[in-house]
Amino acid sequence: MSQGPDPPTDRESPVGAPVIRGDPSVTGQRPEEAVEFDPEDPESLATAAETVHQFAGDAAGETDTVFMLRGAAACAALVRGEGSYKAAAERAGGDATVAFIRKWSRVHDLPRSIRKHVAMGEIAPTAAKHIARVGGKARLQLAWAVLDHDLTVRQVRSVASDVNDGTSVADALATEGVTLGELTVELPPAVYRELRRRAALEDVEPDEIVADALRRRFDGGRRS
């Protein structure tokens, strides 16, 4: 069965665009309230530089996910507009170091599916920084493990480091006592009853039936 194209693992929308921040169903913020940073616009770039300056020096805002995403967007736009992390840090000044701007620019570059959970407070921004350190499918797998197993920031940092050292995501998570792909689902009673009945008759585990059904659904969705 064809699995279709791989899902995006990097940002697809323009740098600085408030795609998640401007979604009221996620942040409660109206689109017109969300600041957009245009790296090609000198005035907008100046706003980005000031935002990064404030973001780097305001530890009190670390629990405000919208504040964090706005700061990350400003970092990414400033880097794009200035042409390098070093130039962006020099323009922002203050506590905005190259390392700081690089970390938060990477968070801005995460795919929408992950940024949405950051905005909703289900993935801590500090954990998102470590998820962004890994690339490709690994960052999606690590992000979903955070959601399903409530990983601490320390655990996320450890897994990201192991993956970047060449360890598979599955093995790195196993070190933390987590099984990749394991999650708990709640089914309607009738569906649960039929799932168990079919599994018994076909002599397979329930997760095999669930996985097959989901593969068919996802494959069909990619063709539509």
Query: What is the rounded distance in angstroms from the CA atom of residue 224 to the CA atom of residue 222?
Result: 6
Query: What is the rounded distance in angstroms from the CA atom of residue 80 to the CA atom of residue 77?
Result: 5
Select the more confidently predicted residue: 162 or 16. Answer: 162
User: In 48-76, which positions are buried (b, 16+ CB within 10 angstroms) versus exposed (e)?
Assistant: bbebbbbbbeeeebeeebbbbbbbbbbbb
> pLDDT at residue 25 above 60?
yes
Identify which of 141, 128, 131, 127 has the alpha carbon closest to the alpha carbon of residue 183. 141
DSSP 59: G
Identify which of 222, 5, 8, 6 has the alpha carbon closest to the alpha carbon of residue 111. 8
> pLDDT at residue 55 above 70?
yes
| Residue 224 confidence (pLDDT) | 31
Q: Hey, what are 167's tokens?
A: 């360890």
| Residue 2 confidence (pLDDT) | 43
pTM of the model: 0.86
Half-sphere exposure in the Cβ direction for 17 (13 Å, CA): 7
Identify which of 64, 55, 73 has the alpha carbon closest to the alpha carbon of residue 125. 64
> pLDDT at residue 61 above 70?
no
Supply the Cα-derived Rg of the chain in whole angstroms: 20
